[in-house]
Structure 1
């Protein structure tokens, strides 16, 4: 019997359905989902309008190649541009966050004729060849991935300028807020200075908004808090609420030529229908505003805990990291198995909270109450 290639750490929970901010196992047990499958579930599980749009599209056409006109792609690009605040940019749709970053880096290299990239420490941009090379985790780099064209900088503008001044850098790539790196929020002044420097030295600025975008921080993109406009923006995860879909938003300064980029499945009809439905739900249900206000309430409630096990609380909107003084598994596992709440993690000590953007203050109260119970219980047992 063929078995799965064993590369994931898997909890012994079989999730079979979901609704709103809850998922259910095969026995009917409900779990509050504060992780959204790595920030993928933006508008909630099984949203009826999304299900309707995808069902209707399935009955018409699931897929045809990019060798013919696809009006859904054109409509999606237009609506994404309007809602995101980038109506003059163009879109190239692909299938995953790594693929979006891969194509963004290729565009930067085509545009500048250069190949070196500045990325940042503790970054994560994907597992394909170029994307993994700008990911600061040597454990993910196979020998075939390592061309030594990347410099990993600290969030220090002088260090970055030193690299840009060498004249061989095609791109700087940065997450709007680091996810895997521990929910680290870049300083707004740093972002503004970085934008100025990349323009001065003719370097392409790529903002990876794969996890931090799509309204999660209370603006459509996290970088918009700093008031900057990158040259390329990559999007994925929440774009289609679980259907594999992603894209690159491309500044008008880039010239296109036939064949420079390509994809078989990217921008397929079913994915476009899902992504269009997500945009409509975000707009009509005011989910960006909800992420802002419910996220502020979440941060307030977390700060009120005053637990000795909490070292720091970071984030924006509904992208929150709780850095602990104990290994995160000591808190995450009882939250799941005793309190029936899904959360994520970053590194050894940070609890990562990335719920659907429909999260309510009532659900925040449930989570914070359960977290307090787990933290208090661990503290008492460890004394």
Structure 2
């Protein structure tokens, strides 16, 4: 692929995939690979799902792209389905193209309503690819919660905490990523997050849940923030909601939507509220509901976590962190990580390589048999690496 510019920072390992189905990819030689990374964490229900393909074909034959003055009723149907899943029954949705954009528009709306310019987030958050978010040297307060990980009172955190005292009095919004931590799967203490939300809310700031990675069943609930007993004003949704199609959504709760009606906000781009993306979102939500995949993610996630924790030996595998079907496996050094990662690919298993850890995010449709098979191969691979290191 000499004319394709790859700039993600990841090495292209398998350039000739010609077929996909469910958890599996197939190359030109017919070799199969179990995709335990769900693409870029996007194929939440698996590759090449017949029901979703049918929805795409039907919508293309109707209307795939809308203008500023015309649309299709699928927008309202899809909005109702995703808002219901989020518990925002009387809220509103903006359909967009990427998770980065869903976070960006949520942040812009928060600043518009609060008239504040400083955004708050945790120091290890990944919030998207836009320069307004990647460049945190201006108009950002990064809350370093490293010491909270080992705090003996982390489950009883109160407003006297020294970390919380560093929060500026006035911020436009707190953007909370509930567990991905730039791909390393770290879960902030519940009490700390609830206190941050209280501080920001008491000063009229907004709460944005960044659910691009942690949403759509990934953590065993519809959204990761639901593990924290908080109620955000905005939810940024992406990746898994399109099952590989580039669609994202900014969800707005009822109160905030009313505020935006009183103080109009303008944002436009060519593919905002496109019917094709909306139809796919509705289809993915229905597929998850019809197959009870949130419960399956809880059950199979618990099984996979138990298996992964059993391989922790403190010699090569140092720690496992997970929730639902989202895991990080910390490894002693990057050389060992690369060896295990490459061996797994040779054996037909794709996981994420984060340098100091492996990232495992299988589709919600993974089965017990597939989990057992992967763990057996992972054990063999670790043993092989131990032998020849």
Q: Distance in 1 between matches of 2:185 and 2:229?
A: 20
Deviates more, 1:104-113 or 1:80-89: 80-89
Q: CA offset at residue 38 of structure 1?
A: 1.8
CA distance in 2, matches of 1:2, 1:335: 26
Deviates more, 1:304-313 or 1:352-361: 304-313
Contact residue 99 and residue 238 of structure 2 kept, 8 A: yes
**How far does residue 129 in structure 1 lie from its aligned partner after superposition?**
2.6
CA distance in 1, matches of 2:171, 2:288: 37
Aligned residue for 2:297?
291
The aligned residue for residue 138 of structure 1 is none
| SS in structure 2 at match of 1:60 | coil
C-alpha contact (below 8 Å) 1:105/1:130 kept by paired residues: no
Pairing 1:172–2:179 present: no
Q: In the alignment, does 2:234 pair up with 1:232?
A: yes
Counterpart among 137, 141, 145 of residue 151 in structure 1: 141
TM (normalized to structure 2)?
Answer: 0.90
Which whole-Å deviations, capped at 9, do the CAs of 1:20-68 have from their partners, x for residues lacking one?
A: 1111112221101100112100111111110111111111222122422
Structure 1 residues 358-369: aligned runs within 5 Å: 358-369=365-376
Match of 1:275 in 2: 281
Q: Which residue of 2 aligns with 1:304?
A: 310
What are the equivalent positions in structure 2 for 1:43-192 lying under 5 Å apart? Answer: 43-134=45-136, 148-155=138-145, 158=161, 161-164=164-167, 166-192=168-194
Structure 1 counterpart SS, 2:184: coil
| Aligned equivalents of 1:364, 1:277: Cα separation in 2 | 26
Compute the displacement of 1:374 (Å). 1.2
Distance 2:199 2:265 in 1: 31
1:7 paired to 2:10: no
- Is structure 2 residue 330 aligned with structure 1 residue 323? yes
Q: Write out per-residue CA displacement over residues 297-320 of structure 1, whole angstroms, 9 at most, x where no aligned residue.
A: 000111122433111110101101
Partners of 1:112 and 1:203 within 8 A in 2: yes
Farther off after superposition, 16-25 or 253-262: 253-262
- The TM-score normalised by the length of structure 1 is 0.91
Q: Could you say which residue in structure 2 is the equivalent of 1:197?
A: 199
Write the distance in 2 (CA, Å) between the matches of 1:51 and 1:326: 41
Alpha-carbon shift at residue 231 of structure 1 (Å):
1.3
Cα gap change, 1:345/1:88 in structure 2, threshold over 3 Å: closer, same or farther?
farther
8 Å contact kept, 1:183–1:320: yes
- Bigger CA drift: 38-47 or 7-16? 7-16
Alignment partners' CA distance in 2, 1:121 and 1:266? 31
1:344 equivalent in alignment to 2:352: yes
- Give the whole-Å Cα distance in 1 for the aligned partners of 2:123 and 2:17: 34
Q: What is the deviation of 1:153?
A: 1.2
Measure the CA separation in 2 of the matches of 1:200 and 1:342.
Answer: 45
Q: Are 1:153 and 1:159, in contact at CA under 8 Å, matched by a contact in 2?
A: no
Shift of 1:206: 1.1
Equivalent-residue separation in structure 1 for 2:320 and 2:13 (angstroms): 29
Helix, strand or coil at the partner of 2:255? coil
CA-atom RMSD in angstroms: 1.8
- Whether the aligned pair in 1 keeps the contact of 2:344 and 2:381 (CA below 8 Å) is yes
Contact 1:117–1:150, Cα closer than 8 Å, also in 2: yes
